[in-house]
């Protein structure tokens, strides 16, 4: 057996028990690698549980900067007896197993084709501490210390991070550093350090930042001018509303009065959340809710109202595994159809697909301009993968010259000057009518908002022609939306090719890596990362320019492909499905395998020949 050797290029996975305090130790470990200038991408794989069930924390270390999920494990830190067998099995041949060797295990519990590293963590803790909670928590820090020795990490970096982590609770700093050294010293004394895997200081991180997409989206809402947030707790979106609360506490408190420029309501359910958002936006404030698939299901009736009565609203949908309660702590891209066509009757809704926290921030802010401009709900479609995991991304940027686009709102002056007001009158030919806010003018501009059919002056109507005119104008507005939403981003292969790939959101890093793997196999692919629905004309052009287009997405029913077929009138046979939906993040290995099986250079035949 040849042990794996790699510098700054491996996957380490921690198997823990939920509620054991492992998360902060694991985060500390991940952050230390980043501080050494090496790209490290953590992923939490957690159960729908508070205490007792298995939880994993995976870190992909990549000098080349790959941040997508790789698949496989090179070093397993097996701290959970419950999942021992499964964890052991997942280690790559030649990989390493790190475990607590306090209690002897029979040889049948190990593998011969891996290196086994035992550290008597429990024994050391029991000797050093008497308090049971301390024994538990310091055991975690101790394994970080041992790993630091095994991977040849810079101990000063870890020490300074501990200092930052416990800033304000200073008396915790030294005990943690002591535990760190206990683990490290034991390893240096009893084990051969370093092992084949090593972390070496580098400068591949650059000025990038690390944060969760949910937090970034919430910060985007702050920068976008949101003043009202109504939400109902649901994994994986709760941390978005909570982050908004935290960012607001920091940035939205009036210096003099100490009062808040924001109102955050934890509602009784998702129906109430969206109702509050719609009421607030109707009254001219920027409002949003954060939810996940089940919440979108509950909001359907209100979303139809907002579409038909033309009220702005922003909905952050942090997608998880569906249907029903599904996999609440796993990731998917499976709410596309339920959001795109939410509610009964003919409806279409704008969606944005951020790829990482940076775009969560950008789109988080942009969504409020779009909602006001288009007077319609805007869905920001996050995924658990980017929402609840910290991800390395470009620093957030803001242009101070930027003003909020409040859209077409008539002022008291407009009304006083006698400007004609028809709430559903298409004055500018872009399908977007003007609105007035309650309280604007004593005698002009009042109207009645309703979900029933109305004429262009908002008067109740049961006339077919009023209905058709209104529905057709909404389609015109939909066309206007195509010109306002973020365009798809195209990246062509180094050589001309007839094959293309379309994908969205968190698939991005895995796709970047897969395209390199495939290029090495002689399969050249042009890439198109779609960033919004409705699709701009660049999407139709891309499909038209390629013989074969793979649509890579993380759901069972090829929902993105359905939208492409449906909205762009594409022949379904032209769009090849590449689907991944087991709830874990899609990997480059999977994408490369799936595409090369369908399109090796030899197998690529012009589309017309295939179907003839």
Partner 1 sequence: MTFLLKPKLHHPNLPTNALGLTRRDYEGSVSTLCAGCGHDSISAAIVHACFEMSLQPHRIAKMSGIGCSSKTPTYFLGASHGFNSVHGRMPSVLTGANLANKDLIYLGVSGDGDSASIGLGQFAHSIRRGVNMVYIVENNGVYGLTKGQFSATADRGAKSKRGVMNSDEAIDMVSMAMQLGATFVARSFSGDKAQLVPLIQAAISHQGAAFIDCISPCVAFNNHEGSTKSFDYVRAHNDAVNSLDVITGRDEIIVDYAPGTLEMVKQHDGSVLALRKLAADYDVHDRIAAQAWLSGRHAKGEIATGLLYVDLDPVDLHASLRTVDTPLNELDETVLCPGAAMLDRINASLR
From 153, 211, 342, 579, residue interacting with partner 1 (rule: CB under 8 A) = 211
209 belongs to the binding site for partner 1 (CB under 8 A): yes
344 belongs to the binding site for partner 1 (CB under 8 A): no
- Nearest approach in angstroms of CB 484 to partner 1 is 19
Contact 438, 413 (CB under 8 A): no
Which DSSP string corresponds to 547-600?
Answer: SEEEEEESSSS-HHHHHHHHHHT--GGGEEEEE--SSSPPBHHHHHHHHHHH--
**Buried/exposed 440-467: b ≥16 CB within 10 Å, e otherwise:** bbeebbebeeeeebbbbebeebeeeebe
Stretch of 76-84, 151-159, 401-409, 497-505 contacting partner 1, by CB under 8 A: 401-409
- Residue 50 burial by Cβ neighbours in a 10 Å radius (0-12, 13-18, 19+): exposed
132 belongs to the binding site for partner 1 (CB under 8 A): no
The pair of three-digit structure tokens given for residue 43, joined into one six-digit string? 């992923």
From 30, 68, 95, 275, residue interacting with partner 1 (rule: CB under 8 A) = 275
191 belongs to the binding site for partner 1 (CB under 8 A): no
Beta strands in 85-183 (DSSP E): 91-100, 115-119
Stretch of 144-152, 390-398, 554-562, 583-591 contacting partner 1, by CB under 8 A: 390-398
> Which CB atom, from 264 or from 539, has the smaller least distance to partner 1?
264
From 26, 272, 497, 507, residue interacting with partner 1 (rule: CB under 8 A) = 272
Beta strands in 328-387 (DSSP E): 350-352, 377-383
Touching partner 1, residues 481-540 (CB under 8 A): none
Contact 528, 542 (CB under 8 A): yes
From 170, 203, 268, 495, residue interacting with partner 1 (rule: CB under 8 A) = 268
- Nearest approach in angstroms of CB 370 to partner 1 is 16
- Residue 259 burial by Cβ neighbours in a 10 Å radius (0-12, 13-18, 19+): exposed
223 belongs to the binding site for partner 1 (CB under 8 A): yes
From 217, 222, 511, 524, residue interacting with partner 1 (rule: CB under 8 A) = 222
CB neighbourhood size of 174 (10 A): 12
Beta strands in 384-440 (DSSP E): 390-393
Helix axes 270-282, 300-309, angle to 10 degrees: 10
460 belongs to the binding site for partner 1 (CB under 8 A): yes
201 belongs to the binding site for partner 1 (CB under 8 A): no
Residues near 338 by beta carbon (within 8 Å), at least 6 away in sequence? 293, 296, 297, 300
Stretch of 103-111, 379-387, 393-401, 473-481 contacting partner 1, by CB under 8 A: 393-401
360 belongs to the binding site for partner 1 (CB under 8 A): no
CA–CA separation, 203 vs 428, rounded Å? 53
407 belongs to the binding site for partner 1 (CB under 8 A): no
Sheet (strand 532-533) strand order: 263-266, 228-231, 287-291, 313-319, 377-383, 350-352, 532-533
287 belongs to the binding site for partner 1 (CB under 8 A): yes
From 26, 90, 227, 238, residue interacting with partner 1 (rule: CB under 8 A) = 227
CA–CA separation, 360 vs 505, rounded Å? 10
28 belongs to the binding site for partner 1 (CB under 8 A): no
Touching partner 1, residues 69-108 (CB under 8 A): none
Give the residue among 432, 433, 437 at the shortest CA–CA distance from 422. Answer: 433
From 50, 104, 156, 397, residue interacting with partner 1 (rule: CB under 8 A) = 397
Stretch of 137-145, 440-448, 533-541, 592-600 contacting partner 1, by CB under 8 A: 440-448
From 121, 219, 524, 525, residue interacting with partner 1 (rule: CB under 8 A) = 219
- Nearest approach in angstroms of CB 176 to partner 1 is 21
Place of tokens 């941040």: 67
From 440, 507, 562, 587, residue interacting with partner 1 (rule: CB under 8 A) = 440
Touching partner 1, residues 234-263 (CB under 8 A): 251-252, 254, 257-263
Sheet (strand 575-579) strand order: 489-491, 526-529, 499-503, 548-553, 575-579
462 belongs to the binding site for partner 1 (CB under 8 A): no
Stretch of 9-17, 52-60, 196-204, 275-283 contacting partner 1, by CB under 8 A: 275-283
């Amino acid at each position: 057996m040849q042990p794996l050797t790699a510098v700054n290029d491996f996957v380490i996975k921690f198997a823990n028990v939920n509620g054991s305090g492992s998360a902060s130790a694991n985060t500390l470990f991940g952050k230390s690698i980043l501080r050494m200038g090496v790209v490290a991408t953590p992923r939490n794989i957690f159960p729908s549980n508070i205490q007792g069930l298995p939880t994993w924390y995976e870190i992909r270390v990549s000098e080349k900067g790959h941040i997508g999920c790789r698949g496989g494990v090179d070093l397993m830190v097996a701290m959970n007896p419950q999942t021992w067998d499964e964890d052991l099995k997942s280690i790559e041949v030649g990989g390493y197993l790190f475990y607590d060797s306090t209690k002897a295990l029979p040889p049948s519990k190990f593998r011969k084709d891996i290196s086994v590293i035992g550290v008597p963590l429990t024994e050391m803790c029991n000797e050093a501490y008497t308090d049971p909670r301390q024994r538990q928590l310091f055991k975690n820090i101790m394994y970080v210390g041992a790993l630091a020795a095994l991977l040849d990490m810079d101990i000063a970096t870890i020490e300074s991070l501990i200092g930052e982590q416990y800033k304000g609770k200073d008396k915790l700093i030294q005990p943690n550093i002591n535990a760190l050294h206990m683990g490290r010293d034991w390893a240096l004394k009893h084990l051969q350090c370093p092992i084949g895997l090593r972390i070496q200081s580098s400068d591949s991180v650059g000025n990038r930042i690390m944060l969760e997409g949910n937090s970034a989206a919430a910060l985007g809402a702050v920068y976008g001018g949101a003043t009202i947030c109504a939400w109902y707790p649901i994994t994986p979106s709760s941390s978005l509303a909570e982050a908004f609360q935290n960012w607001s506490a920091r940035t939205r408190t009036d210096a003099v009065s100490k009062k808040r420029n924001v109102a955050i309501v934890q509602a009784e359910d998702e129906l109430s959340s969206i109702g509050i958002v719609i009421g607030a936006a109707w009254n001219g404030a920027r409002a949003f809710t954060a939810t996940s698939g089940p919440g979108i299901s509950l909001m359907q009736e209100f979303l139809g109202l907002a579409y038909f009565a033309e009220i702005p609203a922003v909905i952050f949908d942090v997608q998880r595994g569906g249907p029903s309660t599904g996999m609440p702590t796993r990731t998917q891209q499976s709410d596309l159809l339920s959001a795109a066509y939410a509610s009964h009757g003919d409806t279409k809704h704008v969606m944005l697909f951020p790829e990482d926290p940076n775009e969560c921030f950008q789109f988080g802010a942009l969504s409020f301009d779009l909602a006001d401009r288009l007077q319609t709900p805007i869905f920001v479609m996050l995924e658990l993968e980017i929402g609840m995991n910290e991800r390395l991304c470009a620093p957030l940027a803001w242009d101070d010259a930027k003003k909020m686009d409040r859209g077409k709102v008539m002022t008291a002056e407009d009304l006083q000057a006698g400007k004609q007001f028809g709430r559903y009158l298409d004055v500018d030919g872009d399908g977007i009518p003007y609105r007035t806010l309650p309280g604007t003018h004593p005698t002009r501009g009042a109207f009645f908002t309703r979900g029933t059919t109305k004429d262009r002056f908002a008067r109740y109507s049961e006339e077919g022609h009023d209905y058709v005119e209104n529905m057709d104008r909404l389609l015109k507005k939909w066309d206007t939306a195509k010109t306002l939403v973020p365009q798809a981003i195209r990246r062509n292969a180094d050589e001309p090719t007839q094959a293309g790939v379309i994908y969205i959101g968190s698939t991005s890093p895995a796709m970047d890596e897969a395209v390199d793997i495939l290029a090495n196999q002689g399969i050249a692919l042009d890439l198109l990362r779609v960033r919004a629905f409705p699709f701009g004309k660049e999407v139709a052009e891309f499909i038209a320019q390629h013989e074969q287009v793979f649509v890579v997405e993380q759901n069972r029913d090829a929902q993105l492909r359905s939208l492409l077929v449906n909205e762009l009138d594409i022949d379904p046979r032209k769009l090849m499905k590449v689907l991944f939906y087991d709830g874990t993040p899609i990997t480059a290995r999977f994408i490369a395998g799936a595409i090369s099986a369908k399109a090796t250079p030899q197998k690529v035949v012009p589309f017309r020949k295939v179907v003839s």
